[in-house]
């Protein structure tokens, strides 16, 4: 859209408000709402001042003035507000110079796309994220000196087969690890997911499917691939829509990777491909009909996987999902169709659909930073011709111990991921896509989470140690 078309939309649709939205370093969508009367050509081109010191990991109080500049290509009609409102995603810039703020995640994603073009490797990168989530009916938690606890419940949960409900218990439920793909009434969320997908379509997201996932109360909606920045924007819209449609049904949605023990966690598989001069760079005559560039791209991801974990798996909770036995891709291996390694090459008949799927990311990730980091790792692989070695076409979950020990793994904790990022960040600094100050600021935020987690007693510790 152009500035003129946005102003025409505001006038034609009698829009009352414009919601200015941006993403903070941790990946949370933030907003401020402006009355539409104040939105003119100057506003859309020059931006809106705000206090950057109030955003964790950004400016200090003495340098707090920052500017949000709307990206008019991202405009959409908000589907939830009572008053007619359009929303627009913004980039953060320095008000005195007009230059992009190096810690703005969306600007990082834009620099990543520009770096790809300047590298000569390709001129377009396509991303297809697949983010899973859970729906619950009741969620309570407490973190105080005298009580650390949580409680989750849902009528559809596997543990409620013996619960007493007003009107009776109808008993049709997906068991633990049994939610993929039974029809209703076992799949109780068909209508909720359909409304979520329809709402996504109504604001311009290209969608294709939805379904119940493996775990009890776990779900996924499908988006059709798009550009790096476009899909990072779409993941933010995806989360926003799922949270709000769920709330309208009296449900609570969470993208927490592992909200319960004993069942599968939520991942965010990321499909990636690079094109050059209108042709798919990843199609070729090597393993699984990949090109050498695609193999090198995989090699870069596998080499830098532990550093990538700091962005693709950025929560302490992420590593309760990345454990063997729950379809979690913990092994740094690749193969065609096999879902047990970190990287998979999905089967396809068309060279245009040839792509690489990173399976270890999860939906706690900031999509702008995670997608950018994955692409930078892959481009480093192409630049330095990092071959990934032989493919692993066996079921990696069922290997003998001696074979399993020979395959490297991803990180086992956020602490380890941050330590690995400290040692291996140069590939992210190429082309000034990420800056060292940005990475260090991000790590400071994440170390705070690590310390809070490590210093808080856990209920299971009482079960194991209270009576020693």
Binding residue per annotation — 444? no
CA–CA distance, 360 with 305 (Å, rounded to integer) = 9
Binding residue per annotation — 220? yes
Binding residue per annotation — 264? yes
Binding residue per annotation — 269? yes
3-state secondary structure of 114: helix
- Judge whether 42 and 6 are in contact, CB under 8 Å: no
The backbone torsions φ and ψ at residue 116, rounded to the nearest 5 degrees and listed phi first, read -55, -45
CA–CA distance, 237 with 169 (Å, rounded to integer) = 35
CA–CA distance, 237 with 230 (Å, rounded to integer) = 11
Binding residue per annotation — 448? no
For residue 312, say if its preceding peptide bond is cis, omega within 30 degrees of 0.
no
Q: How far is CA 395 from the centre of its chain?
A: 26
Binding residue per annotation — 357? yes
Binding residue per annotation — 208? yes
Q: Look up residue 408 and give its DSSP letter.
A: -
- Judge whether 232 and 368 are in contact, CB under 8 Å: yes
Binding residue per annotation — 113? no
Binding residue per annotation — 327? yes
CA dihedral (100, 230, 351, 390) positive or negative: positive
Calculate ∠ Cα 8-239-442, nearest 5°.
Answer: 105
CA–CA distance, 388 with 301 (Å, rounded to integer) = 9
Binding residue per annotation — 337? no
CA–CA distance, 378 with 308 (Å, rounded to integer) = 11
Binding residue per annotation — 213? yes
User: Which residue, 374, 152, 409, is CA-closest to 256?
Assistant: 152
Enzyme catalytic residues = 51, 130, 132, 213, 220, 269, 339, 357, 359
Give the residue numbers of the binding site for Mg(2+): 130, 132, 213, 220, 269, 357
Give the residue numbers of the binding site for ATP: 208, 339, 352
Give the residue numbers of the binding site for L-glutamate: 264-265, 321, 327, 339, 359
Give the residue numbers of the binding site: 130, 132, 208, 213, 220, 264-265, 269, 321, 327, 339, 352, 357, 359
């Amino acid at each position: 859209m152009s500035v003129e078309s946005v102003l025409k939309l505001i006038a034609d649709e009698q829009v009352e408000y414009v919601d200015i939205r941006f993403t903070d370093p941790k990946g949370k969508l933030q907003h401020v709402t402006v009355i539409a009367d104040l939105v003119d050509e100057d506003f859309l081109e020059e931006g809106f001042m705000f206090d950057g010191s109030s955003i964790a990991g950004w400016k200090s109080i003495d340098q707090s003035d920052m500017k949000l500049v709307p990206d008019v290509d991202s405009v959409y009609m908000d589907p939830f507000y009572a008053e007619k409102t359009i929303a627009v995603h913004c980039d953060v810039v320095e008000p005195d110079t007009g230059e992009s703020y190096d810690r703005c995640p969306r600007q990082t994603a834009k620099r990543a796309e520009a770096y790809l073009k300047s590298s000569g490797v390709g001129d377009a990168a396509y991303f297809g994220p697949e983010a899973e989530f859970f729906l619950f009916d009741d969620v309570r938690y407490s973190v105080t000196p005298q009580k650390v606890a949580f409680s989750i419940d849902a009528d559809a949960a596997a543990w409620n087969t013996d619960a007493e409900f007003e009107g009776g218990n109808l008993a049709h439920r997906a068991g633990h690890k049994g939610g993929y793909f039974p029809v209703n009434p076992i799949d109780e969320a068909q209508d909720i997911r359909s409304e979520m997908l329809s709402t996504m379509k109504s604001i311009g997201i290209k969608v294709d499917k939805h379904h119940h996932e493996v775990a009890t109360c776990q779900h996924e909606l499908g988006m059709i691939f798009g550009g790096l920045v476009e899909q990072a924007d779409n993941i933010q819209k995806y989360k926003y829509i799922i949270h709000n449609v769920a709330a309208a049904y009296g449900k609570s949605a969470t993208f927490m990777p592992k909200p319960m023990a004993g069942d599968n966690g939520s991942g965010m598989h990321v499909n990636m491909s690079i094109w050059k001069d209108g042709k798919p760079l990843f199609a070729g005559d090597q393993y699984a009909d990949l090109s050498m560039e695609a193999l090198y791209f995989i090699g870069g991801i596998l080499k830098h996987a532990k550093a990538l974990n700091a962005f693709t798996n950025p929560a302490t909770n992420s590593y309760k999902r990345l454990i063997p036995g729950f379809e979690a891709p913990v092994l740094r291996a690749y193969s065609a169709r096999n879902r047990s390694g970190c990287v998979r090459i999905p089967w396809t008949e068309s060279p245009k659909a040839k792509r690489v799927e990173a399976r270890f990311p999860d939906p706690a990730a900031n999509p702008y930073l995670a997608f950018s980091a994955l692409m930078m790792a892959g481009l480093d692989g192409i630049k330095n011709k990092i071959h990934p070695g032989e493919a692993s076409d066996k079921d990696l979950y069922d290997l003998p111990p001696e074979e399993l020990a020979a395959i490297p793994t991803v990180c086992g904790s956020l602490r380890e991921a941050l330590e690995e990022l400290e040692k291996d960040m140069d590939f992210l600094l190429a082309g000034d896509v990420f800056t060292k100050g940005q990475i260090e600021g991000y790590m400071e935020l994440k170390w705070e989470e690590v310390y809070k987690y490590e210093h808080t007693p856990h209920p299971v510790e009482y079960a194991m140690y209270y009576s020693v």
